[in-house]
Amino acid sequence: MRTSEAVRIVAVLVAMGVVLASGAAAQASNVRAIVLAGNDLTGGPAYGRGALQGAFDRNTDRIVEAFTERLGIETILKLHAEEVSEQDFEASVREFVAEVGPGDTLIFYYAGHGLDGYMHPFFVEAEAETPSDESAQPETSEPPLNEDAASPAADPDGSYRYEALAELLESEACQTLTIIDACFSGSALNLLDESWTIVTSCRADQSTLLAWAYGSIFNVEFTTQLRHGYTRLDEILAGVDLMYGEEFQFSGDPTIDLASPSCP
């Protein structure tokens, strides 16, 4: 059962779309997409090893299939947190984003664990370099650090701040759409670039509903709407039924047609 608040959100978005669509003629836009699958095998003690049984993989496989077969998007960077380190992720995204031009639309889709203010992909650990004798630091008389005293600024293990993601995705794109399919993902609305269009699978104080055999209910609903032929964002979201009191969150331009986006 769709919540009344979600219905009101979509109604407002559709009304906004009527106004925005009546503006000046827009220019056709090339679409480039980045898809990141979180590591559900590591999971950490809070989740249990292997508990999700590949749910995030299924989420990203479905979205890539929908992007290519339903929307005709040809330029897609797919990354799996189980296979790349945080440094590899950042390097790959920077290289990809550098190719985005002022006439392009950039889409970022993440399916994985989440915390309030963070993606929680659990990237693999980068291989540490063994220092040579020449680069070894001399011993000092300074007292050892208190390893039990956690820094208040330290990020949770395996996490990636939404503010850092905002900086990483900065590009010349005429419009950017981010879809964050993770627990507590609603917190991203206040931490990503306010000029972007942002869709999250739940509120900042909610966990995303997962069906172990399928993945996120949001992902299933979103890709189902694409398979049914809906391509404009407000039409897609109008058909997303999350049930059990869950509510997707949205900000930005509801009139984006993912099959043929256009620059304002």
User: Cα–Cα distance between 216 and 110 in angstroms, integer?
Assistant: 11
Angle at the Cα of 181 from the Cα atoms of 44 and 249, rounded to 5 degrees:
130
In this prediction, residue 171 carries a pLDDT of: 96
In this prediction, residue 151 carries a pLDDT of: 39
In this prediction, residue 245 carries a pLDDT of: 73
- The mean predicted confidence, pLDDT, of the chain is 81
Give every residue of the chain whose pLDDT is below 50, as ranges: 1-25, 42-45, 47, 49, 130-153
Report strand pairing: 210-211 vs 262-263. Answer: unpaired
**SS3 category, 220:** helix
The helix-helix angle for 55-65 and 217-227 (nearest 10°) equals 20
Residues whose CB falls within 8 Å of the CB of residue 90, separated by 6 or more in sequence, listed in order = 168
Contact 254, 233 (CB under 8 A): yes
User: In the β-sheet with 160-161, what is the strand arrangement from edge to edge?
Assistant: 113-115, 118-120, 160-161
User: Cα–Cα distance between 161 and 1 in angstroms, integer?
Assistant: 32
Domains, the chain, in order of start with CATH, read 26-126+156-223 (3.40.50.1460)
